[in-house]
Amino acid sequence: MASNITGVYSKKAKYTNGYWGKIQYWANQINEAIAEGDLRGVDSAHRKLDYFIEREWNTSGPGKKTI
């Protein structure tokens, strides 16, 4: 029998301090990929960074400083 339990972990609990840690991590990954001349690495990290920036915008909104 399938259970209808949803949201064992809420998204708010997972990122209680916002997405800045992920943004910093992926910004660093881009810089490392640039230093290595790794275009695929730059592209991959850029996509992740873009995702987490969008999540932060949606969480805190424009003009709200979270750091």
Per-residue pLDDT of the chain (67 residues; tens, 9 = 90+): 555 555 554 555 577 778 999 999 999 999 999 999 999 999 999 999 999 999 999 887 666 665 6
CB 30 within 8 A of CB 45: yes
Residue 40 identity: R
pTM tops 0.75: no
3-state SS class at 66: coil
